[in-house]
Amino acid sequence: MNTSNASTHQSQISINDSRNVAINISGLNKSYGDYQVLKNIDLQVKEGERIVLCGPSGSGKSTLIRCINQLEVAQGGHIFVHDTDLALSSKAADNVRREIGMVFQHFNLFPHMSVLDNCTLAPMSVKGVSRKEAEELARHYLKKVGIESQANKYPIQLSGGQQQRVAIARALCMKPKIMLFDEPTSALDPEMVAEVLDVLVKLADTGMTMLCVTHEMGFARQVAERVLFLDGGQIIEDCPPETFFNSPKSDRAKNFLAQIL
């Protein structure tokens, strides 16, 4: 019988960590109709922290990160991003959303726009950056993800791995302080997973605050400071990767690891 409880879970490593808090979630509840997906989630993410979020399908991983980015509205609890309470005003929430980049499983590039235009759209339309500056920024980040030579192509002309790298560059063009990834490699053919993970590893090295839903456990071991294991809408493990892989507390995490490793 598992006795862990989302409302009382504590990170084993946030103690003695003096970094500022980037995301502070308390008592977060989210339901779809009668079905409660997230149950009283408490979570603190420090600036520059790299967190891998894993758990069975349907456990609420996407819902949790979508709530952070306000793509979903929670029914209860609070989410503070850099000390701004997202529930307070929609203006504050809009400002905060600009600081958060998100990358989805299915890339979600605009199909009718070139790679370059995908990257310049938001900086120009949301932040009022000039086209010249936006293009410089776009080329800078496209180079960082190793895809500058594809700038004038359309998404359909690129491989899945290339499209996902464009999606990462596009998010970085908004100069986010936090990056959220929702299974960024799950839709990729196996040979393309590494090229995207390489980009994520490099991004982690820059000190970016990252919350990544993934089942790439090699990546979690290499990059994550903490692994969160979500099951049934509750965080039931929150520990460094070595603890998660070597001695998970709950039977549910043990079963999960037995299935995917």
Residue 31 CB neighbour total at 10 angstroms: 15
Query: x/- site string to ligand ADP, residues 25 to 54, per CB under 6 A?
Result: -------x----x-----------------
According to DSSP, the β-strands at 209-213 and 178-182 are parallel
Q: Which is nearer to ligand ADP, 174 or 210 (CB)?
A: 210
User: Which one of residues 5, 7, 19, 58 is an interface residue with ligand ADP (CB under 6 A)?
Assistant: 58
Q: How far is the CB of 91 from ligand ADP (least distance, A)?
A: 26
Q: Which two tokens stand for residue 176?
A: 């986010």
**How many residues bind to ligand ADP according to rule CB under 6 A?**
10
Q: Which is nearer to Mg ion, 142 or 167 (CB)?
A: 167
Residue 101 CB neighbour total at 10 angstroms: 25
Q: Which amino acid is at 163?
A: Q
CA separation for the pair 186, 202 (Å, rounded): 19
User: Which one of residues 57, 128, 258, 261 is an interface residue with ligand ADP (CB under 6 A)?
Assistant: 57
User: Which one of residues 60, 101, 161, 248 is an interface residue with ligand ADP (CB under 6 A)?
Assistant: 60
Q: Which is nearer to ligand ADP, 63 or 214 (CB)?
A: 63
> Quick one: which of 134, 106, 107, 108 has its CA closest to 119?
134
Q: How far is the CB of 256 from ligand ADP (least distance, A)?
A: 12
Q: Which is nearer to ligand ADP, 119 or 210 (CB)?
A: 210
209 binds ligand ADP, rule: CB under 6 A: no
User: Which one of residues 61, 97, 165, 170 is an interface residue with ligand ADP (CB under 6 A)?
Assistant: 61
Buried b / exposed e along 71-81 (16+ C-beta atoms within 10 A): ebebeebebbb
Binding site for Mg ion (CB under 5 A): 61-62
Q: Which is nearer to ligand ADP, 49 or 231 (CB)?
A: 231
Q: Which of residues 126-185 bind ligand ADP (CB under 6 A)?
A: none
Q: Which two tokens stand for residue 1?
A: 């019988």
Q: Which two tokens stand for residue 82?
A: 């850099």
Q: Which is nearer to ligand ADP, 75 or 95 (CB)?
A: 75
Q: Reduce the secondary structure of 107-151 to three states and give it as a string.
A: CCCCCCCCHHHHHHHHHHHHHCCCHHHHHHHHHHHHHHCCCHHHC
CA separation for the pair 100, 86 (Å, rounded): 13
Q: How far is the CB of 67 from ligand ADP (least distance, A)?
A: 9
Residues in contact with ligand ADP by the rule CB under 6 A: 32, 37, 55, 57-63
